[in-house]
Structure 1
């Protein structure tokens, strides 16, 4: 299983991706900048770093692997553990761990892990399509000196110019102006005639309509029955972020877990519909936005259940 591909996919969406039992890959947004005398322009990007001290399982990577590889969450955790053991063995024997598009992890003389980012992929989605480029230096002063040297060698000689007779253009302009004035006058007269005829027709039509209104009588023989309109009930607000306490094969066990959570003070505990793995997820609660869900997950991991994880629909 190429776990580095799943880590790379998550780095586009999250600032921290933790590999349980190994460490966490962190991203920091860097603004666009210009470096060097040749004016090298670099777009905004995410800089990737590694922290070997953060090893707790937050459920993000395992849940992503389970969805992408079409396996259960428990099996995904086992697969990730196998890869972590392989990486750890390589580092203990002073070998490099190469993670495609992410970077390399090596060991220094003090047996500390050293991470070197690849910098080949920009994980900042706002900078999609932007690449670094180099603007060549503009040599204005050199060209100015070359032009000045040419002027000294070849002085400019002014020669008198023959004056041409353009008197015929004056008469042509007068003819064009008169022609335009005549055309404008005819158009104005034509528009006035059309407007007058239109008003006369509209006046006759209005007189006939008024006569028809005065002669008409309206009799309603039977009242029209009232029409009952059905108003749709407001749709329930979507809450796609669920903080999962566990998943159970039996619905009875899931209900027992809900009762235990409510007894512990989690009044919003509930059971989600059966998933594609034939399990009943039991959640502490559901949330509208990701920040609120992540904050509650950290609190519950510290106070109640360290294995609580986040499910995103």
Structure 2
């Protein structure tokens, strides 16, 4: 029995189709979207969706199968129970179960049933297909922006205030003035002394005496003390020069300001994230300091931008100055 075919046929006319003892199949609306990498606009569609809930609810499936195959509902229910048992057994063994014209069932590591819908089946009206977009002029795509008809709404009139009332300025209390004049500078001085304690009072203090202590030297220790003083003077006057080792600075690409309208100059899209990162690093080494992998599309493409700009004319001018190999594939994305 082609159970997937029957469920798929019913989903064209029913919101929910229950497979008794297993789960419920519904349809989920997918809006239209533009895919720059394929140069097409995908039309809206309805895809099949599965849930383990509602497995005991009423379903038009048994009566529909009985009508199609000329069997009694009791015979159909017995057959459906056998099919459900076989599906559970196959899933328990780690196998995938394909339902014709519907999708594929499988189990994840947590034991939950996962359903992958057949993307070739669209439960909307027939004729909804992907439409190709002309590639002569790269489009300026705007993501997540809805265009609404402009409506003119007059601003509300300002509330009138009585002319007799005048704004009163609140004067700062006198003790706050003394606090600002005396206490705050004192706190700043204490913080400076605390952070530079060693400079003012420690071994490296600024105001220190350079007089050496007077030490009585006996004949027996005279030579030893003189040697020590010579060593100390030599150590004090020794200059140690340490040349810092050169450190290679890593080029970190800049990021656009959050919330500001930005135009990205896209020069590549890759399925492999490593290849996208490799191209961005190569562009930065060639002088494009803003080159980076800046997004992952819903179609699993990693996009590489040459730079980002806050003015469309500036982005178009930069696009015209790109090398020939990049200019042929470059396009501008508005976010």
Question: Is TM more than 0.5 here?
Answer: no
- Larger proportion of helix: 1
Compute the TM-score of the two structures, normalised by the length of structure 2: 0.39
TM-score in terms of structure 1 length: 0.42
